[in-house]
Amino acid sequence: MSEKPITSGHSRRDILRFAAASAVGLALPGGLSAVSNAPVAHGGPSGPLRSAGVLTFGPNNVLLVGDITGATIHAFALRDKDLTSQTDLISGNFHNFEGRDHVVGLDQKLAALFGTTVDKIVISDLAVHQPTEQIFLSVERGRGTDAIPAIVKVNHGQLEILELDSIPHSQVSLPNEPDSKAMLEFDPQQMYAITDLKYYNGEVFVTGITNQRFASTVYRIPYPFNANMATCTVEIWHPVHGEFETRAPIIRQVIRELNGEPYLFGVYGCTPLVRFPLSVLKDGAHVRGDLIGELGYGANPLDMLTFTSPADSKDYLLVTIDTRSASQIAVSELASAPPQPTGGGIDFGPGGLGRAQRALPIKAEHIAILNSKWAVLIWRHPKTTYRLDLSTLALPYFFERKDGMSEMNWPNGPDPFHYREHRNELSNQ
């Protein structure tokens, strides 16, 4: 099959299936390198974790953890006693866009709990257990090879360390992880071995890179884990760079069903938004995704999620970005957006859906949807740069009024949004 660039807007995508996958090193001898349902007793609250990376929830209260050092995906089947409903918590004043700080000085409190200093605390990810609205954090104490991983949950503002060695656990190893000494120009390759993790319809989708020629990889792993893992490699046309790219990984992914077909949407560094129908992500396949949006150069995505707007009841894709405002794109456009042409010159964009994106005022290190009206985020406000806070932020504008300065803040100022009528109107939803 040809690797010729597609120059039309036709929705055709190249699926380069290799009959002899070993020719390009895609084959996984014997399928999975290891599947284990027995807890690995490392002892202590770290349990079987060797590092604590991306988090997501699977079915039946299963917390999935990406462990780069262990080249492993862990599944912890949380028991009822591991979860405490937080739905009684007041999230803030929704009408007035005033969120609440659930944990002030999150990094300082984690340091105290872990018996260390704040510079040794790394918060890798944040996930919300939707039924209980309980927030889980993946945390490491230490920044070196001796870092100690842990999962921390937030219980009514208090931080509690999960005793992972007592929680039913299964795990699956990922093959061909990058060598721990292999470098990119600026970072170790291993940093990107597991970039994101999502559960959809009986499968765990893992994005990241391997040590193979086409490094950018999507794994589909059945859950409960078994040996039938599918591995495919993915490539894109990256307009900002004017080239096909097979190594740069998907940084964040979202899986959504649109018009009856499930898709994986991936966002990359510098910042292409790419669509893959799940039907083409088959074991051994090398797949070119449809580039449907170029969100802007010089940016790294931090989180990607979808939410339903309480204002218009429509669904939106949200991508938070390190160097500028977050992007919001209507989910309804994701399936129908035509693939951008490939093979042109360097185009700094924005392009495709990037031209329709709306900028949202979010500066969050991590963000997740808490419930139908609130998101929860870990952030460092300019007024309080010395600490990280865990706070709520009202949908769909993601605007925190109490941190701003405006005419309306004067006691006798104008009140075009009727803030005064709703003052002190706290709610948990």
Partner 1 sequence: MNAPVVCQLTLRVSSASSPHGPGSVSACCLGPDLVAFLTSCARPNELLKSVFRVTVAQVPSPEGDRLPDVSGRYLLLEDELGFIPHFPFERDVKYRATFDPRPLGAPLTAESLNLEFFIPSEQKAPALTEVTHIFPSCDLLPENLLRLYVCFSNSMQRGRALKEISLLDSHGQPVADALYRPPVELWDRSMRHLTVLLDPGRLKRWVGPNVELGLPLKVGQKYTLDIGSGMIDLHGRPLRERFRKDFVVGDPVRERIPVEHWKILAPVTASRQALVLMFASPLDWALLQQTITIESADGLVIDGQVVVDQHERRWSFTPTSPWVTGVYQIRVGSGLEDVCGNNITEAFDRPLRKGPNLVTRINGSSLIFQLI
Q: Give the footprint of partner 1 on this chain (CB under 8 A).
A: 44-45, 104-105, 108-109, 111-118, 120, 141, 148, 150, 158-159, 161, 387
Q: In what order do the strands lie in the sheet with 72-77?
A: 35-36, 169-173, 72-77, 62-67, 55-57
Q: Give the residue with the Cβ less far from partner 1, 127 or 150.
A: 150
Q: Among 395, 191, 210, 382, which Cα is nearest to 300's?
A: 191
CA torsion, ordered 96, 102, 105, 106, to nearest 10 deg = -130
Residue 291 in tokens: 């580039």
Cβ neighbours, 10 Å, residue 376:
24
Q: Give the residue with the Cβ less far from partner 1, 110 or 126.
A: 110
CB of 411 to partner 1, least distance (A): 25
Q: Give the residue with the Cβ less far from partner 1, 101 or 315.
A: 101
Q: Give the residue with the Cβ less far from partner 1, 116 or 211.
A: 116
Which residues sit opposite 383 in a β-bridge? none
CB of 118 to partner 1, least distance (A): 7
Q: Give the residue with the Cβ less far from partner 1, 120 or 198.
A: 120
Q: Give the residue with the Cβ less far from partner 1, 112 or 408.
A: 112
- Decide: 223 and 199 in contact? Cβ < 8 Å: yes
Phi, psi of 402 (to 5 degrees): -70, -15
CB of 40 to partner 1, least distance (A): 18
CB of 26 to partner 1, least distance (A): 40
Residue 17 in tokens: 């299936």
CB of 117 to partner 1, least distance (A): 6
CB of 190 to partner 1, least distance (A): 23
Would you call 311 helix, strand, or coil by DSSP? coil
CB of 70 to partner 1, least distance (A): 18
Phi, psi of 23 (to 5 degrees): -60, -30
Q: In what order do the strands lie in the sheet with 261-267?
A: 252-258, 261-267, 272-277, 290-294, 351-352
d(CA 117, CA 426): 35
Q: Give the residue with the Cβ less far from partner 1, 120 or 275.
A: 120
- Over the Cα atoms of the chain, what is R_g? 22
Q: Give the residue with the Cβ less far from partner 1, 118 or 255.
A: 118
CB of 185 to partner 1, least distance (A): 33
- Decide: 377 and 302 in contact? Cβ < 8 Å: no
Q: Quickly list DSSP for 98-155.
A: EE-EEETTHHHHHHHHTTS-GGGEEEEEEEEETTTTEEEEEEEE-SSTT-EEEEEEEE
CB of 194 to partner 1, least distance (A): 23
Residue type, 305: L
Q: Give the residue with the Cβ less far from partner 1, 45 or 53.
A: 45
CB of 347 to partner 1, least distance (A): 46
- Decide: 124 and 67 in contact? Cβ < 8 Å: no
Whats the size of the chain, residue-wise? 429
Which residues sit opposite 126 in a β-bridge? 137
Q: Give the residue with the Cβ less far from partner 1, 115 or 416.
A: 115
